[in-house]
Structure 1
Amino acid sequence: MYMKTRAVRRPRRPWERAARRLEKTLHSVLPGRQPRRNVRAGEPLRVLMPRGLSSLARESGIGAAMRHQETAVLSLGHRVVTNPLRPFDVVHLNTPFPDTPLIARWARVWRRPVLMWAHSTEDDFRDSFPGANALAPTFRRWIAHLYRRGDAVVTPSEYSRELIAAPKYGISAPVHVLSNGVDTTFFRPDPSARARLRESLGLPEDATVVLSVGMQLVRKGILDWVEVARRLPEVTFVWYGRTDERLLTADVQRALATAPANALFPGYVSAEQLRESYCGADAFCFLTKEETEGIVLWEALACEVPALVRAIPLYRDRMPDGVLTHQVAGDGPGFAGDVAAHLSALLAGELKDLTAAGRRAAQDVDLGQVARDLQEIYRVTGVRPHRRTRTLSADAGGATARALPPRAAGDARPDAVR
């Protein structure tokens, strides 16, 4: 004889019914969640690059990297969407601002892949703004939280990949190395720029000019740079770039206030002016203490200006001393004197000419190659077109839907100093 058994029913939680209803509503309200049907081969992707708070990074290296990404996307024939309320197939997130995790969550709702760019690390946050060293561990936990929101993480160098691969970042998603790149058709040698640069700065035609570019931070080496300028009064030192005075540390404010007369700070300039300066300078002196790549160095090498840099791990490995750049190691009281001695030798022509090798290396990370590598990242991440929608216009709903013919990366010009 069989006994009737009663199945044990799991208590239904009150929120489960609401969650199912929400999921059903999302499927009907957001039809773009499903893959496109009958998609033609080579159908362009809609790449979301949200503006939002990213405009705050416009004058930084992250801002330059975002412009380079947009150029690469367009050169592949894809479309750039700036409004997250418009349909998109993949999202690029670059900034460590509070809206980044919100947009990542929104992409999850739409079931779209998230590519998270790891431009920053705990190491390069140090020696930046007032209180940065004390906040560095907290900043690392925040960016690690952001990077873990990505289906894939993209970082500009093997060095930075090694840093974020540390257990303290807790990243389990695939990490790809993709250079931020340089537009070598825009940044190219121009001997005629020498006279124009000196005229714009009010200098005599035979003046010796040494250039540096970046935000005015301790990490960027501005304290050592000012001291080198003090030791070489016969050379004009020009620093392009600026930082809000409220974000300057006390020692940087003091260095700027007491800088010698041969140290000039023109501030933020256009890309055209920056290119003129690279091409017209006698040397590029970049004394940064920490970088994940450093776009400005690639730009300088593309313009065939002799480069002297601090021998940080990234540059020792990627741009070896005596091969692509000349380097000076150290960070103590004698560092500025060593730099001044090496710089004097470089300006006197006593060091090996590496400009041609630097130009070839910059061409290896041209935006055209970056675009091809980005397309491969799309492929391995599973990025694909979704359900067809009507063609976007350039101003529809705040979206940007521009397209360039393949390999038109060189036609788009960057517009800011990093």
Structure 2
Amino acid sequence: MRALNYLELADHVRGGIPSATGQQRKALAGTDVDVVTSPWNGGSPQRAALAAATGGRLFRGFDVAHCNLVGPGSVAVARHAKRHDIPLVLHAHFTAEDFAGSFRFSDRVAPALVPYLRWFYSQADLVLCPSEYTKGVLQDYPVDAPIEPITNGVDVEALEGHEQFREETREQYDLEGMTVFAVGEVIERKGLSTFCRVAQRTDYDFAWFGPYETGPQASEVTRKWTRDPPENVRFTGYVDDIRMAFGAGDVYMLPAKVENQGISVLEAMATGKAVVVRDIPVFEEFLTHGEDCLKCETEDEFVDALDDLAADPDLRERLGANARESAREHSLDHVGERLEAIYESLLADEPDDVRGRTE
């Protein structure tokens, strides 16, 4: 079986979507699925268009199409798949809810995205999404297609050896004592203001490992905090090796307002870190307060949780050990097996004479 696993604008997209796509491909590498990452004959739309103009094919051959974004390239793949009866999987990493609070004017634009996303996802033979929470969001649009949650997974192998980065990274960013950290793009949806205000009320060092916008597209909130952060907060910007973050930090804190799942949370769990998150619906699906994390609703609760963890190293160790165990349920082996089974199921519903029609 040959499956297209497509992320358009792959060189320009940041955040969890490229991470999730990369993990899908790594997971599928352990299966019998032959993965192609570009739908275009020749590897690019320009080369494909040239080939088509001289009598060649625009699209490569594949048995299943799996798209991870919602732009014009994915629309073209969706139309091609429907035209040639190729099973179409659209992965809903992107919703209007998680777009809000990301960039300048995103809160205003987000509601207008709903009709487009409803139309786009409704073309699928199957919509995949990272959580039951996201499934509920899509059903409320409503998306007229079957929807199944599947974890983004966690690449434990890629995190191995994070401990070796501890001393060097802590020295580089002047981190001492129990360090509270976050990983990912620095945006308000991830709880940026809460992160900084909680830091202002404590004596712990805080570090946010991840890129942030500085140009006109940056939100006012992001510019405010990154230009003039609290004295005990470090914004590192992009780091070459994300293991630096998990090596340097002690308590992972994500006060996100909206998440479809949270790959960085799974990564923190897999590295055995104590995890503190905002009590939002998606975390009910894989985190249990007091067992493998601490959940908070207010800034006071975040401050109290950090104080408890600072005063009780045994609590940090217990939560981290339980979190590591919980993360095992999200292994890439499981993701690969599930994706392969989904593709096979979709192909089983297709007549033999239409499979591979674009070969």
With the shorter chain as reference, the TM-score category is 0.7 to 0.9
Superimposed CA distance per residue, residues 201-239 of structure 1 (whole angstroms, 9 cap, x where no aligned partner): 344xx533211012221111011111122222x322111
Given the superposition, is the C-alpha separation of residues 255 and 201 from structure 1 closer, same or farther in structure 2, using an over 3 Å criterion?
closer
SS at 1:56's partner residue? coil
Q: How many Å separate the matches in 1 of 2:239 and 2:39?
A: 28
SS at 1:47's partner residue? strand
Corresponding residue for residue 40 of structure 1: none
Q: How many Å separate the matches in 2 of 1:55 and 1:148?
A: 27
Q: How many Å separate the matches in 2 of 1:388 and 1:175?
A: 26
Is it true that 1:346 corresponds to 2:309 in the alignment? yes
Q: How many Å separate the matches in 1 of 2:86 and 2:6?
A: 14
Given the superposition, is the C-alpha separation of residues 389 and 158 from structure 1 closer, same or farther in structure 2, using an over 3 Å criterion?
closer
> Which of 55, 63, 76 is residue 102 of structure 1 equivalent to?
76
Same amino acid, percent of matched pairs: 28
Is it true that 1:370 corresponds to 2:335 in the alignment? yes
Larger radius of gyration: 1
> Which of 236, 249, 253 is residue 205 of structure 2 equivalent to?
236
Q: What do you get for the CA RMSD once the two structures are aligned?
A: 2.3
Corresponding residue for residue 198 of structure 1: 170
Comparing 119-128 with 188-197, greater Cα deviation is found at: 188-197
Q: Is the 8 A contact 1:183 1:367 kept in 2?
A: yes
Cα drift, residue 387 of structure 1: 5.2
Q: Is the 8 A contact 2:213 2:222 kept in 1?
A: no
Q: How many Å separate the matches in 1 of 2:185 and 2:122?
A: 28
Letter in 2 for 1:124: D
Letter in 1 for 2:306: L
Select the structure with the greater relative contact order (CA < 8 A; seq sep ≥ 6). Answer: 1
Corresponding residue for residue 73 of structure 1: 28
Corresponding residue for residue 90 of structure 2: 116
Question: TM-score of the superposition, structure 2-length normalised?
Answer: 0.86
Corresponding residue for residue 360 of structure 1: 325
SS at 1:210's partner residue? strand
Is it true that 1:268 corresponds to 2:238 in the alignment? yes
Question: TM-score of the superposition, structure 1-length normalised?
Answer: 0.74
Q: Is the 8 A contact 1:210 1:283 kept in 2?
A: yes
Is it true that 1:381 corresponds to 2:346 in the alignment? yes
Q: How many Å separate the matches in 2 of 1:102 and 1:190?
A: 40
SS at 1:133's partner residue? helix
Gaps of 5+ in 2: 41-58
Superimposed CA distance per residue, residues 299-357 of structure 1 (whole angstroms, 9 cap, x where no aligned partner): 00000011111111111343121122111113xxxx2x331221121122174621121
Corresponding residue for residue 263 of structure 2: 295
Q: Is the 8 A contact 2:209 2:245 kept in 1?
A: no
SS at 2:208's partner residue? strand
Q: Is the 8 A contact 2:39 2:77 kept in 1?
A: no
Given the superposition, is the C-alpha separation of residues 103 and 389 from structure 1 closer, same or farther in structure 2, using an over 3 Å criterion?
closer
Corresponding residue for residue 151 of structure 2: 179
For these two proteins, the number of residue pairs brought into alignment is 333
Q: Is the 8 A contact 1:188 1:302 kept in 2?
A: no
Cα drift, residue 289 of structure 1: 0.6
> Which of 225, 228, 231 is residue 255 of structure 1 equivalent to?
225
> Which of 222, 226, 233 is residue 196 of structure 2 equivalent to?
226
Corresponding residue for residue 4 of structure 2: 48
Q: Is the 8 A contact 1:189 1:302 kept in 2?
A: no
SS at 1:127's partner residue? coil
Q: How many Å separate the matches in 1 of 2:90 and 2:138?
A: 12
Corresponding residue for residue 276 of structure 2: 308
